[in-house]
Amino acid sequence: DGGITQSPKYLFRKEGQNVTLSCEQNLNHDAMYWYRQDPGQGLRLIYYSQIVNDFQKGDIAEGYSVSREKKESFPLTVTSAQKNPTAFYLCASINWAGPHQPQHFGDGTRLSIL
Amino acid sequence: KQEVTQIPAALSVPEGENLVLNCSFTDSAIYNLQWFRQDPGKGLTSLLLIQSSQREQTSGRLNASLDKSSGRSTLYIAASQPGDSATYLCAVCSNTGNQFYFGTGTSLTVIP
C-alpha cells in the first residue's frame, strides 16, 4: 500500500544535540511538508518542498533544517538552536499534478527533551 | 495571512446524536478546504475535500458544506457513534500558494 512512513515514532534529544526525523513516501508525490503540532494549537508549517533539490521555509523554520535529495525522502533535522523542540512532528505529501488532491500524512514522530 | 478558527474546541455528545462542527477562515481566496480526522498519537486522515467552486461534499454519514463568501465551513456528522471520537481539523488551501492553514481542531467524544 502506498503511504508515508515516519521514523522513529518516539525520539529523545539531549542538550546541544542535533536529531534527524525521517520521512519517506512511496506515493510518487512531488510536494512534501513538515509540520509541528503543539497541544491546543493547529499544525504549523516548518518547511516544504515542491520538487527535488528545492525547499522553502515555512512560518517556524528557525532551528530546523531539511534536505530533499530524493523525491521519496524529506528528512527534518532539529538543531540545537531550536530551544523548545518538544512537540509532535508530522510529515505530509500531496500530488499537485492532479487537481484538488488531498494531503496525505504520516503517523508522526513525538520528540522530547531528556 | 489566512487564519482558521474552529468552534467548539471540545464537544461531548450521546451516541446517536447528529452534530455540527464549525470552521471559519479570514481570506475567501481559497483553492479548497479539507476536513481531517486525527486519533490520539496519530497522523491526519482526510475525510472530505471541498473545491472552492463547490457548496458541499458527502461521504457516508459525513457532510461538509462551504460558504466561501462568509468564510465558513461546517462538518455534519449524522447518527454519531463511539468510533467517531477523535479530533477533527479543517485546513484551507490558499489560492496564493501551495500552502495549507489549519484550525486548532474540535475534540469530539461520543458517549455510548
Nearest CA-CA distance, residue A96 and chain B, Å: 9
Provide the pLDDT confidence category of residue A1 given band limits of 50, 70 and 90.
low
Q: What is the mean pLDDT of residues B30-37?
A: 96
Average pLDDT, chain A: 93
Please indicate if any CB of chain B lies within 8 Å of the CB of A96.
yes
Answer yes or no: is pLDDT of A65 > 80: yes
Residue-level pLDDT at A88: 97
Burial of A43 (0-12, 13-18, 19+ CB in 10 A): buried
Interface test with A, best of B44, B45, B54, B95 (most A CBs within 10 A): B44
Reported as a single tens digit per residue, the pLDDT across B45-62 is 999 999 999 999 999 999
A and B: number of Cβ contacts within 8 A: 55
Q: Round to whole Å and give the CA distance between A85 and A78.
A: 7
Q: What is the mean pLDDT of residues B65-90?
A: 97
Report residue B47 CA to chain centroid gap.
8
Residue-level pLDDT at B97: 65
pLDDT above 90: percentage of residues in chain A:
79
Interface test with A, best of B25, B47, B57, B100 (most A CBs within 10 A): B100
Residue-level pLDDT at A113: 87
Left (φ > 0), alpha (ψ -120 to 50) or beta: where does B105 sit?
A: left
